Chains A and B, each alone.
Chain A
Amino acid sequence: MRAGGALGAIAILGVVATACSDEPSPVSSDMSSRDITITVAIDGTAERTRVSGYFATPSSQVRLVGGDTLTVVTETTARHLALRDSTFQIDLPPYGGPVAVRLTRPEGRGGDVEARARVAPPFVVRPPDAARASAPVTVTWEGGTRRDFATTLSLTGPCITPQSRPLGLDTGSYTFNAGELEKKGVAARCSVTAKVVKKLDTAVQSATVDFPITP
């Protein structure tokens, strides 16, 4: 009887031992603000501004509970964000300016956590009229963005030599020289895409336009 009891206790310990674990709690109320980092990325176009990002926390499956709320705040709107698998994403109307993703927390958890970004104003790219690869091709857009934005113009298509131009100044126009776009052995007309990207850290505002070009 005594031996049976001892064996039973050992068996219970064995069962409990199989439940061995050492995992960070996925519940946000169990997390200190000092262990939370929010990374935000913005992909803006003339149609929408997509704000996305993720939480870097001790657990990769964080759930917001107990009064922790996540919001995205711009100069024109404030919207609640849902967190799924520690990531978030929301589409806002076209926007340019500062964006903040803010985790608002009750007292005693280490304070609010915020990630900030600034996105360039939305813009459109205008195609040249009757573009020819053998002639100068000028692409225009709304320029004048602050100098801390990196502006890049690219031109791609099946009948031209792909081009990419990092621009030190967002002048609002760029002209490719005659012959720069010509591709050897291609004499057909095609559609090309001009894309202008204005980037500051993880915030990107871009615009594209398709136009025909002839050799």
Chain B
Amino acid sequence: MLCGWTGSARATEPPKAERRDAEKPKVEHPFDTVRLGAWGSTWAGTRLEGLGSVAHVARPALDLELAVRRYFSPRFGVDIRLVGFPAMRDDNHGYLRGDIGIDVLFARWDGAAKGGITGVVGIGGDAGRYPFAGRAYPRLGLHARVHPGPSSTVEVAVEMLPVSLGVDGRVVQHRSELSFGWSLFQAGFRVSHAFHTVGAPERTFMIQELGIFLGVGLLR
């Protein structure tokens, strides 16, 4: 009987290889995202004119975006985003931005609307279009994602760029984004404020950008 119990226990215990597989993180992570789409936005505010004067600027902008977030463990992932649009003819409104960061999942909940909160630490750089562009910067961010349904997501992201390198003066930027996903369809709103302190006498110029996003997303 004992041997039989023992034998039975051995028979139900999975092999070592299967146990290792079970301990491995699932390949699919609820925060994994691949998003491709276009932003339409307007940006307006003030910029440096001459050596220390103010110019008012208001312009539309169009950008293409590829955003990839891939978790390589239950808690850690990488976040890569490319945004940009080429300059057309002689204009100077082309733009390119690249961000990369490490995502850390530090809160997660289940239930009817499961979700979680991640922190992002990374770096980035941009060039073109904006008076404050042509710089490299660190990124600090928070993302909160909720899955109200099996194929829908709502995500709020806030990000701060506390300093910038490579551009005259000092630049501090805040970026916020509210995005929605329904199956493959993705949409979102974006607000960005950049404060550029430069010139003689020194002034702080502010550029505000409001945009909407339409695209497709692949949620793993």
Is B58 in contact with A25, judged by CB distance below 8 angstroms?
no
Is A17 in contact with B42, judged by CB distance below 8 angstroms?
yes
- On whether A9 and B201 interact (CB within 8 A), knowing A22-B57, A24-B53, the answer reads no
Partner of B200, one of A22, A24, A110: A110
- On whether A6 and B212 interact (CB within 8 A), knowing A25-B54, A25-B56, A35-B50, the answer reads yes
A21 to B42, CA, bound (A): 11
For A164-194 the 0/1 string (1 means CB < 8 A from B) is 0000000000000000000000000000000
**Is A23 interfacial (CB-CB < 8 Å)?**
yes
- On whether A13 and B53 interact (CB within 8 A), knowing A19-B58, A22-B59, A32-B201, the answer reads no
A31 to B58, CA, bound (A): 19
Interface size class of A (residues with CB under 8 A): 20 to 34
Chain B residues, Cβ within 8 Å of A23? 55-57
Min CB–CB distance A38 → chain B (angstroms): 15
Is B57 in contact with A30, judged by CB distance below 8 angstroms?
no
For B44-79 the 0/1 string (1 means CB < 8 A from A) is 001001111111111110000000000000000000
Main SS class of interface, A: mixed
A146 to B53, CA, bound (A): 40
- On whether A24 and B59 interact (CB within 8 A), knowing A6-B212, A13-B42, A58-B49, the answer reads no
Partner of A13, one of B40, B49, B55: B40
- On whether A13 and B58 interact (CB within 8 A), knowing A35-B49, A58-B53, A110-B201, the answer reads no
Main SS class of interface, B: strand
Quick one: closest A residue to B52, CB to CB?
Answer: A32
- On whether A31 and B212 interact (CB within 8 A), knowing A13-B40, A20-B59, A20-B60, the answer reads no
Is A34 in contact with B212, judged by CB distance below 8 angstroms?
no
Quick one: closest A residue to B48, CB to CB?
Answer: A32
**Is B41 interfacial (CB-CB < 8 Å)?**
yes
Number of interface residues of B (CB under 8 A): 23
Chain A residues, Cβ within 8 Å of B52? 31-35, 110
A6 to B187, CA, bound (A): 9
Chain A residues, Cβ within 8 Å of B42? 13, 16-17
Is B53 in contact with A57, judged by CB distance below 8 angstroms?
yes
A22 to B55, CA, bound (A): 7
A55 to B50, CA, bound (A): 15
Min CB–CB distance B112 → chain A (angstroms): 22
Chain B residues, Cβ within 8 Å of A21? 56-59
Chain B residues, Cβ within 8 Å of A110? 52, 200-201
Chain A residues, Cβ within 8 Å of B55? 22-25, 58
**Is A4 interfacial (CB-CB < 8 Å)?**
no
Is A108 in contact with B56, judged by CB distance below 8 angstroms?
no
**Is A84 interfacial (CB-CB < 8 Å)?**
no
**Is B214 interfacial (CB-CB < 8 Å)?**
yes
8 contacts between A and B (CB under 8 A): A10-B40, A19-B58, A21-B57, A22-B58, A24-B53, A31-B52, A32-B200, A35-B49
Chain A residues, Cβ within 8 Å of B200? 32, 34, 110
**Is A80 interfacial (CB-CB < 8 Å)?**
no
Min CB–CB distance A172 → chain B (angstroms): 47
